[in-house]
Amino acid sequence: DGGITQSPKYLFRKEGQNVTLSCEQNLNHDAMYWYRQDPGQGLRLIYYSQIVNDFQKGDIAEGYSVSREKKESFPLTVTSAQKNPTAFYLCASSIDPWDRGGNQPQHFGDGTRLSIL
Amino acid sequence: RKEVEQDPGPFNVPEGATVAFNCTYSNSASQSFFWYRQDCRKEPKLLMSVYSSGNEDGRFTAQLNRASQYISLLIRDSKLSDSATYLCVVNYLGNFGNEKLTFGTGTRLTIIP
């Protein structure tokens, strides 16, 4: 079945440690996104990528890094510079919105909960 | 003013009732609109896209009012399984290749037996 797979489901980070969240999709989608969700807040965009080997900062990119070496994969690294990393992280993908006139919904993985030890 | 605003609720509604909630957006150039449903501690799932002419999917009806810059979701004959948080999502595609998808904070709905 096609879908988006995030791993791990739960992740614990020690002070000063970098951790990487995995996101893989087999939907053949061009665009991929990383969001962060905090209690009582909407999803906030961290990074997005519209095509392989290219990505753009979202609204809250500081303390995070990404790569897009393959179409199917868009890993997110939460670096030690991110001082408040505890959140629910969601990866999403969509068909390139510019291919189809823009009305393309995003489909989400089931998320990774990151906490600080 | 927030780019996308929703009443956070909670809305506590008896089973079988009809419930509606709105979402307002500030960017008049926004082009596409969606409603997502999010269950507790789970990922958002697309409920329906919102088209200019309005659209219906079973018990759910979505409307777009561009003049007043809001979208609405109506749920008829509500079921216990409709209990969830409903996220309003607004998409803007810029002329310079930028896309901005903005999520509301969600409206929490609880259906009471």
Q: Report chain A (117 residues): mean pLDDT per 10 consecutive residues.
A: 88 90 95 90 89 91 97 96 92 75 77 91
Contact B45 A105 (CB under 8 A): no
Q: Is A60 on the interface with B (CB under 8 A)?
A: no
Percent of chain B surpassing pLDDT 70:
93
List CB contacts (< 8 A) between A41 and chain B. 105
Q: Is the pLDDT of residue B52 over 90?
A: no
Nearest Cβ partner for B46 among A40, A97, A105: A105
What is the three-class DSSP state of B103?
Answer: strand
Q: Distance between CA B14 and CA B113 in Å, rounded?
A: 6
The residue written with tokens 């709905």 in the block is B109
Q: In chain B, which residue's Cα lies nearest the Cα of A42?
A: B105
Residue B90: CB partners within 8 Å, gap ≥ 6?
Answer: B3, B4, B23, B25, B27, B30, B32, B33, B71, B101, B102
Q: Is A104 on the interface with B (CB under 8 A)?
A: yes
Q: Is the pLDDT of residue B97 over 70?
A: no
Span B81-102, average pLDDT:
81
Of B56, B74, B52, B46, nearest in space to B64 by CA: B52
